[in-house]
Amino acid sequence: SGEGPLSGKTVLITAGPTREAVDPVRYLSNRSSGRMGFAVAEAAARAGAQVKLVTGPVHLPTPAGVERVDVETAEEMRQAVTDRAASADVFIAAAAVADYRVPRIAEHKLKKDTDGELHEIPLERNPDILAEVAAMTDKRPFSVGFAAETRDLEKHARKKLERKKLDLIAANLVGRDRGFDREENELLLLDQQGSQALGAGSKRALAGKLIAEIAARLDGEASS
């Protein structure tokens, strides 16, 4: 923290995948590398913010000046976010939270021979962490989401903006050779005012642009 467009602000960020246990040795997860969220945390710190980064399991170094909280499951991520959301000015959800979890984690490793053929794993919905924060009625932070879509990017992202009642959403096309687990990305920003292409670039460069756009909107709120 220090000088910069976000000095005096606290920014809470989620990053990475979550990991949902099936039994002591197996889990459900996804291909998120955490790079976008970590780049956003680094950019926010460079902009002078006090940054808290709640991350699922990733192989990334903690950006300088960032307070990191490691979690594994969506429920742990939700708890870590809930504990910190009311003291944050901005919440940016860059984590790829697993949509489902296993309701009863087996105490012992599931066995093909004694537990039968393991064709089906029962699942239940995980909480939507971002929607919960955006629905806060007291001390609600400026709430920013990411939308990773394989098609109809703008349409699906705008639906998410409305449904989760977000202030801003950063949309990117994923799949094949784009998005997840890559250094490069391409973002489109959507809010109530309209849409704005941030273009293609490194996740680091795009994170800087996103943070600048968020800082400008906080300024707008303060002066209106």
Nearest C-alpha neighbor of 203 from the set 8, 4, 18, 34: 34
Q: Which whole-number Å values give the CA distances from 120 to 41, 58, 73, 102, in the listed order?
A: 38, 28, 21, 11
Our finding on whether 174 is near ligand C5P (CB under 6 A) is no
DSSP lists the bridge partners of residue 110 as none
Our finding on whether 85 is near ligand C5P (CB under 6 A) is no
Task: Mark whether 30 is an active-site residue.
Answer: yes
**CA pair distance 24, 15, nearest whole angstrom:** 24
**Cβ of residue 119: shortest distance to ligand C5P, in angstroms?**
26
**CA pair distance 142, 112, nearest whole angstrom:** 48
Three-class secondary structure of residue 200 per DSSP: strand
Binding residues for ligand C5P restricted to 183-222, rule: CB under 6 A: none
**Cβ of residue 125: shortest distance to ligand C5P, in angstroms?**
8
Retrieve residue 168's tokens. 């801003």
Q: CA triplet 89, 204, 217: central angle to 5 degrees?
A: 35
Binding residues for ligand C5P restricted to 99-118, rule: CB under 6 A: none
Our finding on whether 160 is near ligand C5P (CB under 6 A) is yes
**CA pair distance 134, 144, nearest whole angstrom:** 9
Our finding on whether 12 is near ligand C5P (CB under 6 A) is no
Cβ neighbour number for residue 149 with a 10 Å cutoff = 17
- Could you say which DSSP state residue 120 is in? -
Our finding on whether 157 is near ligand C5P (CB under 6 A) is no
Phi, psi at 98, each rounded to 5°: -60, 130
Is 108 or 163 the residue whose CB approaches ligand C5P more closely?
163
**Cβ of residue 116: shortest distance to ligand C5P, in angstroms?**
31
CB-based contacts of 155, cutoff 8 Å, min separation 6: none
What is the contact mask toward ligand C5P in residues 31 to 70, using x (rule: CB under 6 A)? ----------------------------------------
* Number of residues binding to ligand C5P, judged by CB under 6 A: 14
Single out the residue of 53, 95, 134, 206 in contact with ligand C5P (rule: CB under 6 A): 95
Single out the residue of 66, 147, 153, 161 in contact with ligand C5P (rule: CB under 6 A): 147
What is the contact mask toward ligand C5P in residues 117 to 146, using x (rule: CB under 6 A)? ---------x-xxx--------------xx
**Catalytic positions, written as ranges:** 30
Positions touching ligand C5P (CB under 6 A) are 14, 74, 93-95, 97, 126, 128-130, 145-147, 160
